[in-house]
Amino acid sequence: MLDILESLVTDQPLWHLCLILLVSLVVFEFLGRKLRQVLRRRVGALSDDKPDGVDYLLSSVFSLLGLLIAFTFGMALDRYESRRDLVVQEANAIGTAHIRTAFAAEPLGTQLREQLEAYAKTRLAYGQAAFHDKPPLAAEAERQRAMLATLGIAATQSVASAPMGPAVMASVNEVIDVGSAREAINLAKVPTSVVAMLIGYAFIAAFVLGYSQPILSLVQRIGNGLLFLLLTLSLVTIFDLDRPATGTIKVSQQPLVDLIRGFKN
């Protein structure tokens, strides 16, 4: 069941997901209203002029739903911020290593510099690629990181000034570490169980809303529709943030673009 939900949230176009959620909320609200009407017919005690605590329950349910949305949104936003920060960190790490290649003896300095430039282009392509194109680029980046490690060790040993040797290797290590961390955070998502709980609770909230309103006026119908629309947009925004490759909210690759442009100057 969780696998189906993960596939739905991850693979479906966002407008499909928006439509599915909106229709589902309306259906659950309708079911809750119908249940209240059936109970009113069968049990005379359930009449609208007698308080039954449903309004109190409704406010509690939607308050908790708001907390769940805020909690999940925070998780998705933290991952987005981490992906954005890692792009900046990677560009800075590659730029620093590129500058420190000047300390290495030739031809190792030039070889390491050219490898860093090629690696930066691969990382930019990785950031701009669609989801299904990322694995080959990640594999190519892994191969290039292995070459960087080999060249970095050799360049460190060729540095004329001994204190600068560790600085060259440290900058290469930073490039390798940040690259691996960036690929890992791109695969990190909000746990499917959390998504299932959030969607399920939203459906329950819609059901309780329908149960609390057995007879709807035009104003209530419009209000419920707006509420469901806002709730759907909130959920879809969370799912969009959690799609680094297929969503509409993209992480800017401008730091890498500027870095590569600087190589040509």
DSSP letter for 45, please: T
pLDDT at 46: 46
DSSP letter for 265, please: -
The alpha carbon dihedral of 66, 70, 75, 79 has a sign of positive
pLDDT band at 265 (very low <50, low <70, confident <90, very high): low
pLDDT in tens, 174-192: 999 999 999 888 877 888 8
Residues 6+ apart with CB under 8 A from 109: 101, 102, 103, 155, 158
Percentage of the residues of the chain whose pLDDT score is greater than 90:
46
pLDDT at 51: 47
pLDDT band at 53 (very low <50, low <70, confident <90, very high): low
When comparing pLDDT for 134 and 246, which is higher? 134
Is the pLDDT assigned to residue 1 strictly greater than 80?
A: no
DSSP letter for 241, please: H
Whose tokens are 């329908």? That residue is 210
Residues 6+ apart with CB under 8 A from 160: 103, 105
pLDDT in tens, 77-124: 998 999 999 999 999 999 999 999 888 888 988 999 999 999 999 999
Is the pLDDT assigned to residue 244 strictly greater than 90?
A: no
pLDDT at 231: 94
Tokens representing 58? Answer: 């409704």
Is the pLDDT assigned to residue 57 strictly greater than 50?
A: yes
pLDDT at 181: 92
pLDDT at 106: 87
pLDDT at 158: 81
Which of 182, 188, 189 minimizes the C-alpha distance to 123?
Answer: 182
Helices 192-212/2-11 angle, 10° precision: 90
When comparing pLDDT for 58 and 2, which is higher? 58
Which of 249, 244, 251, 231 minimizes the C-alpha distance to 23?
Answer: 231
When comparing pLDDT for 63 and 1, which is higher? 63
DSSP letter for 102, please: G
Is the pLDDT assigned to residue 221 strictly greater than 90?
A: no
Distance CA 252, CA 226 (A): 32
pLDDT band at 54 (very low <50, low <70, confident <90, very high): low
Domain boundaries of the chain, sorted by first residue: 2-216+254-264
Whose tokens are 């890498």? That residue is 256
Percentage of the residues of the chain whose pLDDT score is greater than 70:
91
Distance CA 192, CA 2 (A): 6
Distance CA 176, CA 150 (A): 12
pLDDT in tens, 25-46: 999 999 998 888 887 777 664 4
